[in-house]
Amino acid sequence: MAKFLIVEARFYDHLNDMLIAGAKAALEAAGHKAEVITVPGALEIPGAIALADESGDFDGFVAIGVVIRGETYHFEIVAGESARGIMALTMDGVAIGNGILTVEDEAQAIVRADPAQKDKGGEAAKAAMALLALRERWA
């Protein structure tokens, strides 16, 4: 049994609730434990994961959030930099599943977040578990 930390940027409550439900369901179905923490935005997710990883309290991580395109360039910065930060940690051997949705509108987010539809939260949890299994295999 492994312990995972779900790090959420809680901006769209109803969407995050679906993503977290999917992630928790996938982790619990595999026999793992999950804890959830909240950070202000998607840009803070990689930093929170890095700090939590240093603690040694967690085996893997699931990043959860929703970034919806707006009228400014901010969308590109948040989407790109949060993904870059997560990828940098992953390349350093941290087992992270990226469940940060980057979408055009709320309708797209609902389809992707809903566990009964695309279940991107569950998929992110499964990705984190797969990376943890690889890390353990080659440790």
Beta carbons of 45 and 82 less than 8 angstroms apart = yes
Cα–Cα dist 91/98, whole Å:
13
Residues labelled catalytic = 74
Cα 41 versus chain centre, distance: 12
How far is CA 103 from its chain centroid? 15
